[in-house]
Amino acid sequence: MSGTPVHGTVRSWDDEAGWGTLASSEVPGDVWAHFSAVHMSEEGAFARLVPGEDVVFTWEEAEQDGYAYRATDVRRPGDPPPGPDPDDHDRGDGATADATIDVRIDWDRD
């Protein structure tokens, strides 16, 4: 698996199917890519790639449509890296921001 982005090229892309393949000398085979892994610089833009286009992507070993590798994040060179996950509550010090507080309220009924 690659947690570090690698540079590659779009080998094929089918807009109707919403997937295609990527190639990189840093991956031992073609990488299957789904439109949901494609980052678009414009929010809400149609996620698509163009064969021959340069991309930067992370990948994992996963059997998908006959391919041994699957892209987990695909970006164009120069696009910003993914921001922090809003569901990730890691504060960076090994602790998490999730907390539980027990509160007891006693009402005085005079």
pTM of structure:
0.71
The first and second tokens of residue 92, run together, are: 């960076």
- The rounded distance, in Å, linking the Cα atoms of 49 and 55 is 9
Tokens standing for 52?
Answer: 């021959």
Annotate 21-63 with three-state secondary structure.
Answer: EEECCCCCCCEEEEHHHECCCCCCCCCCCCCCCEEEEEEEEEE
**55-99: pLDDT as tens digits:** 999 999 999 899 999 999 999 998 877 666 555 555 555 555 555
3-state secondary structure of 14: strand
pLDDT in tens, 40-60: 877 778 889 999 999 999 999
What domains lie within the chain, and their CATH numbers? 2-75 (2.40.50.140)
